[in-house]
Structure 1
Amino acid sequence: MPIFLHDVEQVEIFKGPQSFTVGQNAMAGLIRVNTIDPKAFFESKFSIDVGNYGKNNLTFMLNQPLNANTALRVSVAKNKDDGFIFNNYYGKYLNGKNELISNFKVKYNKALSSGNLFSFSAMSMHSDLDNGNDKWSHSNFNELDVTNFETDTDFIGRDTFLGKSNIIKGTFVDNKNFQKINLIFTKSKYDLNYDYDGDWSNESHWNDLYTNPLSESYSENAYSYWAFPTFESRSRHDNSMEFKLSKSFKKHNLIFGIFKKEITERDIGTGFIFDLGVGYVDNYKTRYSTDYNSFYIQHTLSLDDEKSLTLNFRNDDYNNEFDYNYTYYDNNSYLTSEYKTDGQVYKYSNSIQSFRIGTNIDNFYFSVSKGHKAGGMNLSPSSLVTANNDTVTVLNNIDRKYDPETNINYDIGYSLNFNNLNLNLTLFYMDRKNVQVKLQDQIGDCPTCYLFITKNITEAINTGIDLESSYRLNSNFLMFLNLGLLETERANYSHTNYAGTTNYYLKRELSNAPKWSLATGFEYSLNDLFFLRYDISSKDSYYYYDDLNDKSSVTTTHNINSRYIIDENINLTIWVKNLTNKVYPAHIYNFSHGPGLEAQQWKSPTLPMTYGLKIDYKF
């Protein structure tokens, strides 16, 4: 669920496998965002943030006590900008943002006569995102070496999200018996639409580019213009329940929890979905559901104030179902079939256990943990029937399911808080089995016809160092340095695609795994009225995909943020992101853009320099 950070109390980042005592399992880490609870006093805040590319961002927060035990908190954020990519066909910017996010929260607290505490809260979050989706060009934006980014699409793409999530939470604290009970219910619904112009062009532009003999891009095999508008929609229902009991006695703390989650997702794709030569699938519907149940138990033994030992165990059960149907367009009769299906409901279940053993001794900690990533099913059709009643195999039976990925992770850490120096150092080694990799097959030379497959390979390793540090020179000046070093390697593997061609992939680094990442900078404050922060973020190149050798550039981004406190109610902030105005590829794809055209590498750009002025007013 998207959320702006203007009314967030804390963002917690947990690294490594989490056989965790909150919510669902996480294999390689967990990010938890805690919004601010209603408070027992009145407060209200308002901010306006304006910047280049037509940026207008408004936020509002109101906290209002209702009585001695009850308070509510309302926050709203509206974000709008024009985008930075200009569409020549329509004569306007079409990759802008238009986002509205709200959060309503009410909380009741009661101190009982027994000395125990009871609290009840209800929260409703709403997200409405209506963003443009026009970010690809036949010119590749001159390899991103331009000041003006332009496209020529004649179909207006969109990237929308409409979501609502309701959460009810009850907490009972038994101070006499040193125990605490939490009960949480959530109910969510998400609707997503992702539409785009698959040919990135219009008829005049396409023919001038590819069928005009005077053009540098001319190809004698190129077809005349054929529109490829593509529509993808997804509707997801998500219900969960969690019960957690914690109890402390002497040096022991015990936690027991039960977590249950039910997910049903329905997807629809419309356009050129699967090209079969004599026709194509023009509508493809899927239903995917997951019934997820888990329980966990944790015991922490406190040896003294600086030493503890934690044992954690978790069991997760997954039950998945999938089915599909489709319509087929015949190129000869120009007719679309009725909905077809193979008549099967595919099912896949798995159960897996996780654990963690950890100890803290003074400034050192050590842990061994087992984590996992759930298995599931690929959502492509097994076979398709053409208008001639010919059956075409699309997804091989062996590729329908993929198993859970597991890992054993070893962490050794050291933390230091000495005078003005703060330091956290972690060394880790992760041994991964049944590693899940993602593969993609383009069907023919249709630019929108793809199979996306997740499959298991034998093994991989991740090992590295994380360093977080800061040093305060004086009361006004703070320097910080965060550094990550990472080495990865995955095993050889092969895959036989829908056409019967076997591709072999040699041992190499994992995708999305830069060898190093760096964040450094300083913060300066003067007389509690002026604040300045300058930071640099950089990371090494990395492979974009598991099955392709395309690599990103080494990226470096400079940001600056200065804030001036005018009075106790008003703050003024000036900010600049990407100070050097350096643009990098956000995504890279290799494919043929249409019949008769050679496959080549395509790039979409990251954001150029953005800047703005923000005013915060506190009532």
Structure 2
Amino acid sequence: MSRVSCLSLAILAALSTTVSAEENPASEQAVERILVQGDFRQEQLQKLPGSILVLSQQDISRQNAQHLDDLLQQAANVNFSAGASRGRFLQIRGIGERSEFVDSINPSVGVLIDGIDYSALGVSSLADVQQVEIFRGPEATRFGANAMAGMLNLTSNAPSFNSEGQLNATLANYDSYQVAGAYSTAINEQWAYRVAVDHQSSDGFIDNIFLNRDDTNHIDETSARAALRYLASKDLTLDFIAHYRDIHNGYDAFSLDRNRSTLSDKPGQDLQQSRALAIKADYQGLNWANVYTQLSGLTADTDYGFDEDWSFEGIHPDGYATEDRYLRVRDQWSLEQRFLGKDQTDWVAGWYASGQKTELERQFWNWDLWQAAQFFSDFKRQNLALFGEWSTDLGDGWSLTSGARAERYDDEYSDSNGITQQNNELMWGGKLSLSLALTDSTSLYLLGSRGYKAGGVNGEALGKALGSGSEEMSDYLNSKANFSPETLWNAEFGVKGSSADQTIVSRVAVFAMWRDDMQVNSWVTRDQSFVGFIDNAASGRNHGLELESRVQLTDSWTLFANAAWLESEIRGFITEEGVDKTGRDQAHAPHYQYSVNSEWLLTTDLSFNLGLQSKAAFYYSDSHDARSEQMHLVNLRLQYQWDQVQLAIWSRNALDEEYGVRGFYFDNDPRDGWSNGTEKVYEQLGEPRRIGITASYQF
């Protein structure tokens, strides 16, 4: 079937629900209203123009998801890369970073947890998460520079004035276990609190045959959250939120033999300790607007390192033994205040300010000096933004929404090589959408939007240029001293519909995106020395579609489906070796993805889930042509509910499919003789077959 036919069928399927809804308008009282928490206002998903995927607690359980990596496999046009103990970097519609080493990055896809910015730090736990929202496409008006390609927004359960709690325990193979609990209650009529704690542990999925250990890639994560709600008056609500994370994971994922058996004599680590605080104020006492304010701060200490040779000293006469380690201290704050119009005046106006400071210490082997070395850098960024949005009711179900954001950033960079730079830029983004509400649960929309991300300095490249010993290489790296900001234009058409009896709910989005000054990762390789930097291709193109559906086939049988098709292209990018990548797919941009889950209610207490997730092969990098393999995962879950107790036996990747989540292409095996033609694709493999049992108790 042609792509056009597939697109036509998807749109017709969504529009068919409109006809059914119009035939029985009285049933609209039963409409399922999913609220999107991350937008300026809490808006119904079916009415909000844009491609947004909302995953609930039920979706998390259905996937047996313990971590974000597990959950994202069911999200269409969403990918992630590892290169650490967990997937930390996200790509939406083929756009997003895949790593962070020496130079600080401005992510194309940000991560917010309870409004706190965790971009590039990852998500450690899904325990007590109310819902996960994935905004696909530029969201500059709402989120700014960290949402050029989209945004991931996680909302935790809020404090309740009714006493409630939950305990969860999981046992799984690879000596894995998870213990989590949450409790919420009122202190008095004005105060309520909620606390949640989660701990996960596993030996990991690697056998280190040199050290005779199976836990060098282990997981050891603890996260805690506390929230306090204060009803100060009938018009003012205050929320106080505290986060704590303590991550002590190993990192020993790459094998010279390209399997799950490593030879590292000094396995790496992926450590993080972070603390965050937020204060939210919701004031509704003005007669012309509600006022929402959030002040947040976060500090994170990370220690990321690995055995650079992936082997042991003496493996071969031509071998080497080095380590690479990155210790970062990140401090940040942000303040946002927005005014939301009242009395049928649907407008938003506000301002945003933030500051971030990152101190880096790198411990590495300097191949030019042939000795162990250290590198230090300080990076500071301050952002200030003004934003606004206005919606106009045009009558007969039509509405027009326009929004814009102007944002300025100021950077200061200095390092131990004596390099200092200051950069600043005024950037802007916005959106314009035209919507038609056919029924209370069905709408069409046209959307145009513009996103942006900051430029910066390539400190690693400049440092290497100082001591390269090669005039040709020094000149080349000096020409890459800075990289320019990137902008993204998006055009989108969408249909959101549901049948009158809610047995069918469907959303379809078709998009085309244009990237200007597309930021790409590039490398210069000399022997065992790798110098990474960010470069700018002239442009990039991304277009495709996304489809989400829920179909109630019978009273006891429900089908969930998410699917995506994506075409991407690099334009105007030539590597250091002189290879022109114009016309090639962008990295981590698979042509298709789909997730199908079938849920059967076998009895009133017993249910069974069968899920299939598939992803096309994709390139690992913009600078080389190594590719992943296709991925096909089967997930199973048998669940029994007895009063307040739930017991589930589950399996993820039940057929033990082998697939990659991060890949490199170079020569790193001394046993091959370091000669031309010995480059290989080295992959970090995703999760193998998991089998576990989970017990939950709600009270």
Place the TM-score, normalised by the shorter chain, in its bin. 0.7 to 0.9
d(CA) in 2 for partners of 1:313, 1:48: 46
d(CA) in 1 for partners of 2:146, 2:668: 40
- 1:258 partner amino acid: W
1:383–1:393 contact (8 Å) kept in structure 2: no
1:614 corresponds to 2:694: yes
Unaligned runs of 5+ in 2: 1-117, 438-442
d(CA) in 2 for partners of 1:83, 1:404: 39
Structure 2 equivalent of residue 600 of structure 1: 679
- Structure 1 residues 302 and 445: CA distance shift in structure 2, 3 A: same
d(CA) in 1 for partners of 2:422, 2:371: 27
d(CA) in 1 for partners of 2:639, 2:348: 43
Structure 2 equivalent of residue 333 of structure 1: none
- Structure 1 counterpart of 2:447, from 360, 364, 367: 367
Deviation at 1:502, TM superposition (A): 4.2
- Structure 1 residues 530 and 281: CA distance shift in structure 2, 3 A: same
2:635–2:651 contact (8 Å) kept in structure 1: yes
d(CA) in 2 for partners of 1:10, 1:324: 41
Same amino acid, percent of matched pairs = 22
Task: Kindly indicate whether structure 1 or structure 2 has the higher relative contact order, using CA contacts under 8 Å at least 6 residues apart.
Answer: 2
Deviation at 1:249, TM superposition (A): 3.1
Deviation at 1:575, TM superposition (A): 1.0
d(CA) in 2 for partners of 1:234, 1:558: 38
- Structure 1 residues 19 and 427: CA distance shift in structure 2, 3 A: same
> How do 1:276-425 and structure 2 match up within 5 A?
276=368, 279-280=370-371, 282-303=373-394, 306-325=397-416, 341-342=417-418, 344-362=419-437, 363-383=443-463, 393=474, 396-418=477-499, 419=501, 420-425=503-508
Structure 1 equivalent of residue 659 of structure 2: 584
1:105 corresponds to 2:227: yes
> How do 1:79-228 and structure 2 match up within 5 A?
79-93=200-214, 94-112=216-234, 117-141=235-259, 149-174=260-285, 177-204=287-314, 206-207=315-316, 211=317, 223=318, 225-228=319-322
How many residue pairs get matched? 564
2:288–2:342 contact (8 Å) kept in structure 1: yes
Structure 1 equivalent of residue 582 of structure 2: 506
For residue 396 of structure 1, give the secondary structure of its aligned residue in structure 2: helix
Structure 2 equivalent of residue 55 of structure 1: 176
- 2:611 partner amino acid: D
Deviation at 1:236, TM superposition (A): 0.7
- 1:377 partner amino acid: V
1:21–1:257 contact (8 Å) kept in structure 2: no
For residues 78-97 of structure 1, the C-alpha deviation after alignment (integer angstroms, 9 at most, x for no partner) is 00011121222332211110
2:158–2:194 contact (8 Å) kept in structure 1: yes
2:468–2:474 contact (8 Å) kept in structure 1: no
d(CA) in 2 for partners of 1:490, 1:387: 30
d(CA) in 1 for partners of 2:146, 2:685: 34
Structure 1 equivalent of residue 324 of structure 2: 230
Deviation at 1:565, TM superposition (A): 0.6
For residues 395-417 of structure 1, the C-alpha deviation after alignment (integer angstroms, 9 at most, x for no partner) is 73331221111122111111221
- Structure 1 residues 305 and 160: CA distance shift in structure 2, 3 A: farther
Structure 1 equivalent of residue 521 of structure 2: 438
1:31 corresponds to 2:31: no
For residue 255 of structure 2, give the secondary structure of its aligned residue in structure 1: coil
Greater strand share, structure number = 1
For residue 120 of structure 1, give the secondary structure of its aligned residue in structure 2: strand
Structure 2 equivalent of residue 332 of structure 1: none
Deviation at 1:539, TM superposition (A): 1.2
Structure 1 equivalent of residue 24 of structure 2: none
Structure with larger Rg? 1
- Structure 1 residues 375 and 82: CA distance shift in structure 2, 3 A: same
For residue 460 of structure 2, give the secondary structure of its aligned residue in structure 1: coil
Deviation at 1:22, TM superposition (A): 5.0
1:534 corresponds to 2:644: no
1:479 corresponds to 2:559: yes
Structure 2 equivalent of residue 146 of structure 1: none
- Structure 2 counterpart of 1:242, from 321, 327, 336: 336
- 1:314 partner amino acid: R
- What is the TM-score when the length of structure 2 is the normalising length? 0.77
Deviation at 1:71, TM superposition (A): 0.7
d(CA) in 1 for partners of 2:284, 2:661: 48
- Structure 1 residues 413 and 389: CA distance shift in structure 2, 3 A: closer
- Structure 1 residues 309 and 390: CA distance shift in structure 2, 3 A: closer
d(CA) in 1 for partners of 2:311, 2:505: 54
Deviation at 1:300, TM superposition (A): 0.9
For residue 629 of structure 2, give the secondary structure of its aligned residue in structure 1: coil
- 1:600 partner amino acid: E
- Structure 2 counterpart of 1:429, from 512, 515, 520: 512
1:432–1:459 contact (8 Å) kept in structure 2: yes
- 1:398 partner amino acid: S
- 1:433 partner amino acid: D
d(CA) in 2 for partners of 1:324, 1:101: 33
- What is the TM-score when the length of structure 1 is the normalising length? 0.87
For residues 139-165 of structure 1, the C-alpha deviation after alignment (integer angstroms, 9 at most, x for no partner) is 222xxxxxxx32222113111111111
Unaligned runs of 5+ in 1: 142-148, 212-222, 326-340
For residue 321 of structure 2, give the secondary structure of its aligned residue in structure 1: coil
d(CA) in 2 for partners of 1:136, 1:27: 31
d(CA) in 1 for partners of 2:537, 2:145: 25
For residues 2-53 of structure 1, the C-alpha deviation after alignment (integer angstroms, 9 at most, x for no partner) is 2422211121222211123357651111111111110101112111100100
d(CA) in 1 for partners of 2:333, 2:599: 43
For residue 382 of structure 1, give the secondary structure of its aligned residue in structure 2: helix
1:324–1:381 contact (8 Å) kept in structure 2: no
1:381–1:395 contact (8 Å) kept in structure 2: no
